[in-house]
Amino acid sequence: MNPYDETAPAPEERIVGAAAEGDDQAVEAALRPKDLGEFIGQEKVRQQLDLVLRAARQRGATADHVLLSGAPGLGKTTLSMIIAAEMNAPIRITSGPAIQHAGDLAAILSSLQEGEILFLDEIHRMSRPAEEMLYMAMEDFRVDVIVGKGPGATAIPLDLPPFTLVGATTRAGLLPPPLRDRFGFTAHMEFYGPRELERVVVRSAGLLDVEIDPAGAAEIAGRSRGTPRIANRLLRRVRDYAQVKADGVVTREIAATALGVYEVDGRGLDRLDRAVLEALLKLFGGGPVGLSTLAVAVGEERETVEEVAEPFLVREGLLARTPRGRVATPAAWAHLGLVPPQVAGPVPGADQAGSGQQGLFGS
């Protein structure tokens, strides 16, 4: 869950009870901001969304449909709840994988209230029949419910109350153009910078009643991979370490030591990231090596390496994707303190590999 996914207590309030005692889900819920003013980062998106919502309120109309895209943990679910709060409307939450039939979507749409916010997470994973039904619902606020089967089937039109669809996706490129074009406002969520993440950490520490100095906040922010969700998760683990092993105050030294215990290094690489890099460098001389071969070497599924580890390693400039396979960059050798081969000789099996990643290091 995103640290900004629901409403948060006022800044002067503190989290107590089960949340303060370590219930991670309750803590995450308590850390979420309740309006655009509390939401940290994503300045352009916040300004644009504020205009959209203010204009809708002034007209007394339902807000346009909103599409939010970006990596997990950046605040898409949060903004959907903030939209509901700003429009003073209820919110219904579902996800694309949960809607596998047009009837599933029809049941949800037919029960919406006027002005209600429908948040559809991972919208790109919705089934095609449901997707096609959504076209008409978004544009005309109407759906055709099919009764019966075969030649005797009848389409019964069902009018819907005006509503706002907020779609969230981590893979906007998979959305078909007809669906994407029906959103009145689209926004892409960017990764956070260190200063913004420091503000996130300081705000969350205040709500958790954790004493933290600026250097400690900076240390956590620097290892958070540009993602508020990760920053809050690391803060909670550092808090645990400071409580058990120190005097409860989070300093740079305490944060660095605690995150070392949890195998998060200075650049935010975790156990899987380092395993991928070590296998690439030590077993395959820096590559190129096929993804499947690399996954086997670290004992993980191909999809796990590709979707969990690779995006961050590529973004950090530690790994590159090439037509022949994955290749380590000079920065990867330096980060692990290893010396790259002096002369890049021919890759074993390269004469059989060609451009299709076959041979010894093939996919």
Name the catalytic one among 5, 121, 270, 273. 121
245 is catalytic: no
CATH code that applies to domain 194-261? 1.10.8.60
Per-residue pLDDT at 67: 93
Domain ranges, ordered by start, for the chain: 42-188, 194-261, 271-353
- For residue range 269-321, list pLDDT tens digits in order: 988 988 989 888 988 888 788 888 888 988 888 888 888 888 888 988 888 88
Which residues of the chain are modeled with pLDDT < 70?
Answer: 1-29, 146-155, 342-363
322 is catalytic: no
Q: Establish whether 64 is an annotated binding residue.
A: no
DSSP 174: G
Per-residue pLDDT at 342: 66
Q: Establish whether 192 is an annotated binding residue.
A: yes
Pair of tokens at residue 51: 């205009």
Q: Establish whether 241 is an annotated binding residue.
A: no
76 is catalytic: yes
Strand-pair partners of 69: 169, 188
Name the catalytic one among 62, 77, 169, 293. 77
Specify the CATH class of 42-188 in words: alpha beta
Q: Establish whether 315 is an annotated binding residue.
A: no
Q: How far is residue 40's CA from residue 31's CA, in Å, rounded to a whole number?
A: 12
Sign of CA dihedral 316, 322, 328, 330: negative
Q: Name the percent of the chain in helix, strand, coil, to the closest 5.
A: 45, 15, 40
DSSP 150: G
CATH code that applies to domain 271-353? 1.10.10.10
Distances from the Cα of 249 to the Cαs of 4, 12, 44, in angstroms? 24, 19, 35
Phi, psi torsion values for 142, nearest 5 degrees? -155, 145
Q: Which residues contact 252 (CB under 8 A, 6 or more apart)?
A: 213, 215, 216, 218, 219
Pair of tokens at residue 323: 């037509």
Per-residue pLDDT at 356: 40
DSSP 272: H
Pair of tokens at residue 210: 């954790």
Other Cβ atoms closer than 10 A to 36: 18
**Residue 111 burial by Cβ neighbours in a 10 Å radius (0-12, 13-18, 19+):** exposed
Q: How far is residue 57's CA from residue 79's CA, in Å, rounded to a whole number?
A: 17
Q: Establish whether 302 is an annotated binding residue.
A: yes
Q: Walk across the sheet containing 66-69 and list its strands.
A: 91-95, 117-121, 164-169, 66-69, 185-188
- In the three-class reduction of DSSP (H, G, I as helix; E, B as strand; rest coil), residue 324 is classed as coil
293 is catalytic: no
Name the catalytic one among 223, 229, 233, 324. 229
Q: Which residues contact 306 (CB under 8 A, 6 or more apart)?
A: 291, 295
50 is catalytic: no
CA 59 from centre of chain = 33
Q: How far is residue 314's CA from residue 277's CA, in Å, rounded to a whole number?
A: 11
Pair of tokens at residue 360: 């010894």
Pair of tokens at residue 232: 């809050």
Per-residue pLDDT at 360: 41
Q: Name the amino acid, one letter, at 361.
A: F
Per-residue pLDDT at 14: 45
